[in-house]
Amino acid sequence: MFKLIRMVKRGDKLPAEFRQEWLERNRELRKTAGKLVASVLADGAILPGEPAYHGVAALYFPTIVEARAAQGQSADKDAISVIASDEKALFERTGATLKPVGQLKVILTAVRKKDLTPAQFKEAALKGYAKTESKALMESGIQKIVASFAAPEEKTPAFDAMLELYFPDADTLKAAFGSPVIGALRKDEEALVDLNAPEIRIVAEEHVL
């Protein structure tokens, strides 16, 4: 399964206008993908900083040829897209129920150091994530963590890894980012990622279409 990840800016559209248009556009695209998850910037400044992108979509295809074809159809200005060939659930809270509409999550990206191959980066990153104690994750209130890695066929991807951290509400999210747990989760990344590359961080509401 290949996951085409798109990130777009809202431009001069108002937040409500962009939200409606982005979700409607992806409902149409859902007809061509096996699965589609669209996310929009969550209301309110839950975490500090101005997000680089306001809409994210993940389209799932059985082959990279289909993912490439869909990737070439995007005409959004200042948009980025990456094809991921691997998606792994790193953590899932027992009994956690994710909402199909409006689920709160944080999207984080990382760019690998160029002296690491995609395979080396992925292996080392997964080992690093696995070091985080499940007890700390349980206490943090995080419901689920998913990691996606750019396909080796991607020559110069905008990012090499994407983490999606799911939360039940904004207060739990803010508390987790104010605690050591996020730093522990990403502790080993300093040796793996290009610290000069821009990191994308988006607090979003997810919609499974």
Q: Report the candidate in 114, 98, 90, 101 with the shortest Cα–Cα distance to residue 162.
A: 90
pLDDT given at position 10 = 93
Helix (H, G, I), strand (E, B) or coil at 60: strand
The model carries a pTM of 0.94
Residue by residue, pLDDT tens for the chain (209 residues) are: 999 999 999 999 999 999 999 999 999 988 888 899 999 999 988 999 989 999 999 999 999 999 999 988 876 778 999 999 989 999 999 888 999 999 999 999 999 999 999 999 999 999 999 888 888 888 899 999 999 999 999 989 999 999 999 999 999 999 999 999 998 888 888 889 998 988 899 999 999 99
Residue 51, token pair as written in the block: 């997000």
Nearest-angstrom CA–CA distance, 98 and 114: 36
Kindly report the CATH number that applies to the domain delimited by 2-208: 3.30.70.100
Domain map (residue ranges) of the chain: 2-208
Average model confidence (pLDDT) across the chain: 92
